[in-house]
């Protein structure tokens, strides 16, 4: 097992106990890391309730609101972590958004506003978060984000999220170049499909799960634990030579033809 004892990190994107961010949080906690979590504030406090309960289970040091569309929220997160820990070893960015109406049949009918919103939340947010949090990191710092094959292939109904993930993966390469001289690494994990709240917004997602399972090299879908343990590896010193990459954790689906 890879250890992360002594490391402190923040995870953005826990929405409920099915979120990929939550499985990453559980895996990092089991590996000995100390964690801060964020939640998306909403008027009904739905995410906050879930995240506070989940955070208790992993002894989260701090649980902060952070809507990545708000610069003030990002700054407040940076300030809190700076006061709390004064240092940071890793950041996990596991969040995305697309309007349901932009995940339909016609990609060309994507609204201007919907396209920009998907880009802003799902891709652009990695930039100000990295810019704000890397001053707390020293050599060995690690940034991870979550991507999907729809970045490089035209996946049915994924539509507006495809260009958003393409921008995200490209941003990973540019951030890796920017922060590399400081010894800070930036990578994306491209996971196979997993049933989560966001995934349920993609039309025919259950059919996608079944058809992918038949076509992967391993003849099954990826598990949440496998995504979690890859995140632990990327946050740990075991991956010290890896940066700017999109690591596929998809049971080999992306290499298969036919
Ligand atoms: N589920 C899959 O099949 C799959 C596969 C590959 C990649 N991913 C990616 O994994 C990541 C996590 O998604 P998930 O499947 O766990 O779904 P999820 O719905 O559990 O998580 C998405 C999170 O994004 C957050 N979010 C949305 N708008 C936000 C904003 N403005 N500010 C801050 N947070 C915001 C939500 O609160 C939620 O916690 C996403 O980037 C997704 O694209 C998912």
Q: What is the CATH number of domain 8-253?
A: 3.40.50.720
List the residue whose alpha carbon is closest to atom 3 of ligand 1. Answer: 193
Q: What is the CA(2)–ligand 1 centre distance, in A?
A: 25
Q: Is the CB of 202 under 6 A from ligand 1?
A: no
**68: Cβ below 6 Å to ligand 1?**
yes
Q: What is the pLDDT of residue 202?
A: 86
Atom index in ligand 1 nearest the CA of residue 165 equals 43
CA 67 to ligand 1 center in whole angstroms: 13
Sign of the alpha-carbon dihedral angle for 129, 134, 137, 142? positive
Note the pLDDT of residue 203.
85
Alpha-carbon dihedral sign for residues 197, 203, 206, 208:
negative
Q: CA 102 to CA 100: how far, in whole Å?
A: 5
User: Does ligand 1 lie within 6 Å of residue 67's CB atom?
Assistant: yes
Our answer on whether the CB atom of 47 is closer than 6 Å to any ligand 1 atom is yes
Positions annotated as catalytic residues are 148, 158
pLDDT along the chain (258 residues), means of 10: 95 98 98 98 94 98 98 98 98 97 92 97 99 98 98 95 98 99 98 95 89 96 97 98 98 94
Residue 14 CB partners (closer than 8 Å, separation 6+): 21, 22, 25, 37, 38, 39, 47, 50, 51, 54, 55, 94
pLDDT at 105: 82
* Residue of 196, 203, 223 to test ligand 1 pocket, by largest number of atoms within 8 Å of CB: 196
**What pLDDT is stored for residue 201 in this prediction?**
86
Cα(194) to centroid(ligand 1), Å: 11
What lies within 8 Å, CB to CB, of 170 at 6+ separation is none
pLDDT of residue 132: 98
Nearest atom in ligand 1 to the alpha carbon of residue 195 is: 1
User: How far does Cα 235 stand from its chain's mean position?
Assistant: 13
C-alpha to C-alpha distance for 214 and 220, rounded to whole angstroms: 7
pLDDT at 258: 78
pLDDT, residue 165, reads 98
Q: 68 CA to middle of ligand 1, Å?
A: 12
């Amino acid at each position: 097992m890879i250890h992360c004892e002594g490391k402190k990190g923040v995870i953005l994107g826990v929405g409920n106990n099915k979120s990929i961010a939550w499985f990453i949080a559980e895996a990092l906690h089991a590996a000995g890391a100390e964690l801060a979590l964020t939640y998306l504030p909403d008027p009904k406090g739905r995410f906050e309730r879930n995240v506070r309960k989940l955070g208790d289970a992993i002894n989260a040091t701090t649980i902060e609101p952070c809507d990545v569309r708000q610069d003030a929220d990002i700054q407040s997160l940076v300030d809190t972590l700076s006061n709390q820990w004064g240092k940071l070893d890793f950041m996990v960015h596991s969040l995305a958004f697309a309007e349901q109406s932009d995940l339909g049949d016609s990609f060309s009918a994507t609204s201007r506003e919907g396209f920009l919103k998907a880009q802003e939340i799902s891709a652009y947010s990695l930039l100000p978060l990295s810019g704000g949090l890397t001053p707390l990191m020293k050599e060995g710092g690690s940034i991870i984000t979550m991507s999907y094959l729809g970045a490089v292939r035209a996946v049915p109904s994924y539509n507006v999220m495809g260009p958003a993930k393409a921008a995200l993966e490209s941003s990973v390469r540019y951030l890796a170049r920017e922060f590399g001289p400081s010894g800070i690494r930036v990578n994306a994990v491209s996971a196979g499909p997993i049933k989560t709240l966001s995934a349920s917004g993609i039309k025919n997602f259950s059919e996608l799960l079944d058809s992918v399972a038949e076509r992967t090299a391993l003849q099954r879908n990826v598990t949440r634990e496998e995504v979690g343990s890859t995140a632990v590896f990327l946050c740990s010193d075991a991956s010290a030579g890896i940066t700017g990459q999109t690591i596929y954790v998809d049971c080999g689906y992306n290499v298969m033809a036919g």
